[in-house]
Amino acid sequence: MLLRSDLDELLAFDKTPAVSVYLPTHSAGREVRQDAIRLRNLLSDAAKRLAAAGRRAPEVDALLRPARRLVDDEEFWRYQGQGLAVFVGPGFDRVHKLPIAVPEELAIANHFCIKPLLPLIDPAGSFCVLALSAGRTRLYQGSRWTFAEVTGLDLPQGLAEIWGETEYQEAHKAAPSGRPQRGPAGLAKAQALGDAPEELHKTQLTELLRRVAAAVEPI
């Protein structure tokens, strides 16, 4: 799924040439193979245009090589959305499967062409869902077209991480100082360190939520 950070990365790229390739794709049927052929033809056109602009053949081959590898990658073409965007530049290559159909397009310029991507980052249609339980934390990002889990975040995974950093101890074999022992075995339970269990649990939940908020704040 294309994120705003992906768009920022494309906008920040400032080397030339910047090659942008867009094409509609299919998830099933004989059109899947035709999608690969269309990409190959677009890359051939890109090579011709780069050569006509004075770029040497070794430079062109190195520039387009990451995109050309996709043409014969059957596994890659087996799982497609409705569109595909490929961006290559000196030392840079990115591939984005798109949930919307885009027109077939090849652009070679001083910066990447991002206009077909703009509908995907419309803030009016995007939202996040936080799934939080005692044992696991997950963040999902959705839009009018997609819904997927956000990966790469350092999310705390449940209360177990907090438990290891808090202390609570019950004294089972000693009564509090200055008080008589009770019970037939002379045992008394007392809190030795920290809060009572109920208060400790609230403290742990609060700390978990604080850490989750800090992790998702940049999204």
Q: Which of 121, 151, 185 is the last residue of a domain?
A: 121
Same domain, 11 and 108: yes
Asked if residue 137 and residue 30 are part of one domain, the reply reads: no
Sign (positive or negative) of CA dihedral 145, 215, 136, 131: negative
Same domain, 114 and 137: no
- Structural domain count of the chain: 2
Point out the domain boundary residue: 61, 88, 121. 121
pLDDT, averaged across the chain: 81
Render pLDDT for 110-169 as a digit per residue (tens, 0 to 9): 999 999 998 887 655 678 888 887 778 889 887 766 778 888 888 888 777 777 665 443
Average pLDDT on 171-198 reads: 46
> How many degrees, rounded to 5, is the angle at CA 101 between CA 95 and CA 105?
65
Q: Distances from the Cα of 6 to the Cαs of 75, 87, 114, in angstroms?
A: 23, 11, 11
Q: What is the C-alpha to C-alpha distance for residues 9 and 6, in angstroms, rounded to an integer? A: 5
Q: What is the pLDDT of residue 168?
A: 45
Instruction: Look up the pTM and report it.
Output: 0.59
> Considering 74, 95, 121, which residue would you say is the last residue of a domain?
121
Domain co-membership, 107 together with 145: no
Mean pLDDT of 7-15: 94
DSSP characters for 126-141?
-EEEEEE-SS-EEEEE
* CATH number of the domain to which 45 belongs: 3.30.960
Edge-to-edge order in the sheet of strand 83-89: 92-98, 83-89, 18-24, 105-109
The predicted pLDDT at position 154 comes to 82
State whether 116 and 24 are in the same domain.
yes
**Is pLDDT above 60 for 56?**
yes
- CA–CA separation, 84 vs 73, rounded Å? 14
DSSP state at residue 168: -
79 and 112 fall within a common domain? yes
**Which residues lie closer than 8 Å to 19 by C-beta, 6 or more apart?**
46, 50, 63, 64, 67, 86, 87, 88, 89, 106, 107, 108
Q: Is residue 110 domain-shared with residue 129, that is, in the same domain?
A: no
**Average pLDDT of span 182-191:** 38
> In terms of domains, do 87 and 148 share one?
no
Same domain, 10 and 104: yes
> Is the domain of 18 the same as that of 91?
yes
C-beta neighbour count of 58 within 10 angstroms: 8
Q: What are phi and psi of 162, to 5 degrees?
A: -80, -35
Shared domain check, 54 and 95: yes
Q: What is the structure's pLDDT at 188?
A: 38
Write down the pLDDT at residue 39.
Answer: 96
Look up the domain containing 13 and give its range.
4-121
Under the banding of pLDDT at 50, 70 and 90, the label for residue 182 is very low
Among 2, 41, 54, 43, which residue's Cα sits nearest to residue 20?
43
Please state the rounded mean pLDDT for residues 195-206.
73
> Percent of the chain scored above 70 by pLDDT?
79
Domain check: are 54 and 137 in the same one?
A: no
